């Protein structure tokens, strides 16, 4: 029996002992069987570390687990496989360089580590996305719109800083690069990269300007470059606007800083200005009555201010023109359109009730016949 045990432990596969192979298989089995158990446990632990009151909101905890579970599972599976591979040795007959010297073994080991870092980075970004969305939903319930503007921006800043820190860590500790020497040695190459990314840098600095000066915030109705819509997101490079036509327009932040931006949310009134064309057959007393009735109606309307004006402005080429100005007290465009709709119907009623008619472009052509009349025959 002892001979069989000795023979078993002396048996190798590619110069790996049975204990090494058993350890390899054990870690692979753990990766397959326990990923569904370990992932939720680790996520619960992370949640309790960062949010002490997580127990009071079980819906948030379950949502967090569902949102990030796939990422942590991928990370854990690859981690176990990486640990499993560390249990095996390459055969000495292959004459491979040691792990700490450049060669196949070195490249495989560094590739495993870099890929592990990439999976970890994706998991962290997934966590940042979840909490960013969570706090955005919380911000929508508050009266202040400043947090709606601030949270998406902080989410993007957190993601960029996370990637930057992990990238520097990978260069320095995994790939063993001298980061200081790389930064110092950029020289002309760094200048070329900076010039190539000039527009990106300009848009980045413009995003800081928007954030600090606050010419507009998320949710504001703005007009820029003949585009009118609500600001949905201010990112590092672009600002996303939902137009009145419900389409999405993405503008560079530099444009939002350099071009005049009319923040329509800050206005307290919306102006309506148009001409009313009545036919030349309208008697002057009727024209005056129409003008006065419209003027009185606009001044008595509860949604207009006292700056409303109505004038018999000119004798047009085809109509008598009444110029109408009024201001609706609101900062909402669609509310303004509803009030304007109501006023337009009333103006139409006033005109028709007074027996007047709306004019449309017409021309009167007079034909002169200069031919002499022929004498009548007898």
Return phi, psi of residue 354, to 5°.
Answer: -90, 5
How far, in Å, CA of 277 to CA of 265, rounded? 33
pLDDT given for residue 195 in this prediction: 47
Between 243 and 179, the higher pLDDT residue: 243
Helix axes 35-50, 18-33, angle to 10 degrees: 70
Least confident of 10-19, 22-31, 57-66, 264-273: 10-19
Return phi, psi of residue 221, to 5°.
Answer: -90, 120
Q: Tell me the per-residue pLDDT of 299-336, one tens digit each, with 9 for 90 and over.
A: 999 999 888 899 999 998 889 999 999 999 987 778 89
Highest mean pLDDT among 72-81, 332-341, 347-356: 347-356
- What are the extents of the domains in the chain? 2-176, 198-265, 267-353
pLDDT given for residue 126 in this prediction: 84
Domains 198-265 and 267-353 share a fold: no
First-to-last alpha carbon distance for the chain, in angstroms, is: 156
51 pLDDT band, cuts 50/70/90, is low
How far, in Å, CA of 210 to CA of 215, rounded? 6
Q: Which residue has the tokens 């591979």?
A: 85
348 pLDDT band, cuts 50/70/90, is very high
What is the arrangement of strands in the sheet containing 227-234, beginning at the earlier edge strand? 248-252, 238-243, 227-234, 221-224, 262-263
Q: Which class would CATH give 267-353? A: alpha beta
198-265 has CATH 1.10.490.10 classification: no
How far, in Å, CA of 55 to CA of 127, rounded? 18
Q: Which residues contact 77 (CB under 8 A, 6 or more apart)?
A: 31, 32, 35
4 pLDDT band, cuts 50/70/90, is very low
pLDDT given for residue 245 in this prediction: 81
Whether 55 shows a pLDDT value over 60: the answer reads no
Between 255 and 205, the higher pLDDT residue: 255
Q: Tell me the per-residue pLDDT of 122-153, one tens digit each, with 9 for 90 and over.
A: 888 888 888 787 777 777 777 666 666 677 77
How far, in Å, CA of 36 to CA of 33, rounded? 7
How far, in Å, CA of 280 to CA of 358, rounded? 10
β-partners of residue 287 are none
Mean pLDDT, rounded, of the chain: 77
34 pLDDT band, cuts 50/70/90, is low
Least confident of 127-131, 197-201, 267-271, 306-310: 197-201
Whether 294 shows a pLDDT value over 90: the answer reads yes
Lookup: tokens for 47: 């949640």
12 pLDDT band, cuts 50/70/90, is low
pLDDT given for residue 183 in this prediction: 58
**Cβ distance 105 to 97 under 8 Å?**
yes
**Cβ distance 67 to 39 under 8 Å?**
no
Q: Which residue has the tokens 């292959």?
A: 94
Whether 345 shows a pLDDT value over 70: the answer reads yes
Whether 61 shows a pLDDT value over 80: the answer reads no
How far, in Å, CA of 307 to CA of 280, rounded? 29
Helix axes 18-33, 2-10, angle to 10 degrees: 70
In Å, how far are 17, 77, 79, 157, 289 from 26, measured between CA atoms?
14, 13, 13, 41, 96
pLDDT given for residue 11 in this prediction: 55
Q: Which residue has the tokens 């000039």?
A: 198
pTM > 0.85: yes or no:
no
Which stretches of 235-319 are assigned E, i.e. beta strand? Answer: 238-243, 248-252, 262-263, 269-278, 309-315
Lookup: tokens for 171: 């260069």
């Amino acid at each position: 029996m002892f001979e069989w045990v000795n023979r078993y432990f002396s048996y190798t596969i590619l110069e790996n002992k049975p204990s090494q192979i058993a350890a390899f298989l054990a870690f692979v089995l753990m990766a397959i069987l326990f990923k569904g158990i370990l992932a939720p446990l680790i996520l619960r632990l992370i949640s309790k570390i960062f949010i002490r009151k997580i127990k009071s909101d079980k819906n948030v905890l379950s949502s967090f687990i569902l949102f990030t579970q796939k990422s942590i599972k991928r990370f854990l599976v690859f981690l176990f496989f990486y640990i499993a591979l560390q249990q095996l040795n390459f055969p000495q007959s292959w004459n491979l360089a040691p792990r700490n010297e450049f060669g196949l073994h070195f490249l495989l080991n560094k590739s495993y580590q870099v890929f592990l870092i990439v999976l970890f980075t994706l998991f962290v970004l997934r966590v940042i996305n979840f909490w960013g969305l969570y706090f955005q939903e919380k911000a929508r319930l508050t009266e202040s719109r400043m947090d709606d503007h601030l949270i998406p921006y902080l989410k993007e800043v957190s993601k960029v800083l996370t990637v930057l820190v992990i990238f520097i860590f990978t260069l320095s500790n995994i790939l063993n690069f001298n980061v200081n020497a790389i930064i110092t040695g950029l020289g002309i190459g760094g200048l070329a990269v900076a010039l190539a990314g000039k527009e990106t840098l300009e848009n980045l600095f413009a995003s800081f300007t928007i954030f600090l000066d606050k010419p507009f915030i998320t949710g504001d109705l703005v007009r820029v470059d003949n585009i009118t819509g609500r600001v949905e997101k201010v990112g590092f490079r672009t600002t996303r606007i939902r137009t009145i036509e419900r389409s999405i327009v993405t503008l560079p932040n530099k444009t939002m800083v350099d071009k005049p931006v009319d923040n329509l949310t800050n206005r307290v009134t919306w102006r309506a200005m148009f001409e009313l064309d009545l036919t030349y057959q309208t008697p002057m007393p009727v024209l005056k009555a129409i003008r006065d009735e419209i003027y009185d109606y606009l001044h008595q309307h509860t949604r207009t201010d006292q700056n409303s004006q109505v004038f018999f402005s000119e004798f047009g080429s085809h109509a008598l023109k009444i110029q109408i100005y009024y201001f609706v007290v609101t900062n909402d465009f669609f509310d303004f359109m509803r009030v304007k709709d109501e006023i337009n119907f009333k103006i139409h009623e006033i005109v028709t009730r007074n027996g007047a008619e709306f004019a449309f472009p017409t021309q009167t052509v007079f034909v002169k016949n200069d031919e002499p009349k022929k004498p009548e025959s007898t």
